[in-house]
Chains A and B, each alone.
Chain A
């Protein structure tokens, strides 16, 4: 079990208490633990495990929503060896993740810190920054298509105004479509991630800061030695989920570009969707889903493993 503890980045077991590992008490605690997580176990078995296994099974077949045929590893070998679009979509998605996640996290954290004040009207500002995340994808997509319009869009209009004569074609250009998508994702830095950072910042008790002030620490020192360490759990949280979410990006491309131009914005999830619902290859789509699943599993494992070095749990961990 020690190995698993490492994986989740947990510090060694704390002083005796609720987690006392001895005999009857331990058993009682264990049972109560199971009781509390029982709703999830039931839900998991019914709504998730079963369907996940079905999709795994389907990944070894050809299934066009009517007939099923066992094909062994054919789907997997086709995708990895004979399908250039598989690799293209994976690459597109990887680029998107590699750029948008760090940028987004940093932006959200900075924004959360700026908005973590008790001033009148701060709620209005927070709401304004959250608006993009509240807007349904359809309306957002239309807006962004307008913003990125090469001729009449506000972005190129501004670029031309500051002297850039040949601004990029954005969504109509194979080179600039992906940067456009990434810029679009930044609009969400005021969203859920920021709210969670905000909640995390709010959860840092004042008395730490006051004690530090008494000791003579200045604002920057307080920031580096109190704020940052104490929100590392939240950073980890947002990082893990950010990667998982970014790998599954779909709606924006589906609505705005349909994967073009020239497959420049063909994200993995979009290609999966096409395989499932446009080409009727549910087996192929299931294989793609499981490949992604394994990729994300590996990523998450690495993140947790590495997190031991930089994440600090205030409550003693468990």
Chain B
């Protein structure tokens, strides 16, 4: 259902707009609350009746949240960014290759293997946590970023493989065949045909994977020991200990945690551009 302006009545468009705006108000409300609480003083944070707009704006909450823990917040952010970047790159690369394999090739056991892949999402992580930890410990890689980023390079995100495979399957085979006739290798097809045409799906993977890494708590909790390696999610949980104590700091820290991802998400939207897929076929 693609909205083309000249085809919709003003009333129709207005109705849709209203619904979206009302919904947006509802959806943004908790965020609004987080922002305003982050700017309150301690007393106002827990006041009842609730204080909607803090008086005054306590900007120093951010500075305080930034420096309350024994390491300044921006270092947590840099750690988290590093992990998220490396892991997301790995996911993007390995999952698209693997999804290509599943989507475009026939081989013995393919469907069975795909089911196995799916099934890896069905076992709760808590029970495999310890054996995996033992593995990394034997490699002396605990308290490094390795356990958090290396698996991503081996397509451990079954979700991403699944998503990309579904998308690749919607790309017409004719394009592959045309490329092969032109002398393209399988790898070339992947790089030149499949990947460019899957931009929306790839962007989706980047966003979701980055976000997943950014918010990941259990991984950093069990694999990182030194403060210098800690991520934002651990820092935020240390603030959670302060929930009844300094709610406004917890909110400020949450914002520091959220805002980079909001920016990423907002920027990535520009790449959800369609209309590129079928130009090849039409012409």
Contact = CB atoms under 8 A, between A and B. Distances in A.
Interface in A1-54: 1, 4-5, 7-8, 10, 14, 17-19, 21, 26, 29-37, 39-44, 46-48, 50-52, 54
A143 interface: yes
Contact of A135 (B30, B115, B163, B275): B30
Interface stretch (A66-74, A76-84, A161-169, A200-208): A200-208
B1 A227 contact: yes
Contacts of B167: 199, 203
A195 B208 CA distance: 9
Contacts of B208: 192, 195
Contact of B131 (A51, A223, A285): A51
B54 to A, nearest CB: 16
Contact of B106 (A29, A41, A139): A29
B186 interface: yes
A159 interface: no
B100 A36 contact: yes
A55 B128 contact: yes
Interface in B244-263: 247, 250-251, 254, 257-258, 261-262
Contact of B153 (A39, A143, A190, A192): A39
Nearest to B38: A139
B123 A39 contact: no
A282 B131 CA distance: 12
A264 interface: no
B127 A8 contact: no
A39 B173 contact: no
Contacts of A202: 200, 272-274
Contact of B159 (A241, A269, A313): A241
B27 A318 contact: no
B127 A40 contact: no
A279 interface: no
A15 B171 CA distance: 15
Contacts of B130: 65, 282
Interface residues of B, number: 108
Contact of A44 (B29, B102, B103, B116): B116
Interface stretch (A96-104, A112-120, A171-179): A112-120
B236 A128 contact: no
A40 B211 contact: no
A152 interface: yes
A157 to B, nearest CB: 10
A273 interface: yes
Contacts of B272: 198-199, 202
Interface stretch (B16-24, B57-65, B70-78): B16-24
A94 interface: no
B114 A8 contact: yes
Nearest to A107: B23
Nearest to A228: B1
Nearest to B96: A36
A37 B112 contact: no
A207 B283 CA distance: 12
Contacts of B103: 318
A217 interface: no
A292 interface: yes
A302 interface: no
30 contacts: A8-B111, A10-B111, A33-B104, A33-B106, A39-B154, A114-B20, A127-B262, A127-B269, A128-B31, A129-B24, A134-B262, A136-B254, A138-B236, A138-B250, A139-B254, A152-B50, A196-B163, A198-B200, A205-B275, A206-B278, A207-B278, A227-B1, A236-B166, A237-B166, A244-B121, A292-B122, A292-B123, A292-B124, A293-B122, A314-B172
Interface of A: 1, 4-5, 7-8, 10, 14, 17-19, 21, 26, 29-37, 39-44, 46-48, 50-52, 54-55, 58, 65, 111, 113-119, 123-140, 142-144, 146-147, 152, 154, 187, 190, 192, 195-196, 198-203, 205-207, 209, 219, 222-223, 227, 230, 233-234, 236-237, 240-241, 244, 248, 269, 272-273, 276-277, 282, 285-286, 289-290, 292-293, 296-297, 300, 313-318
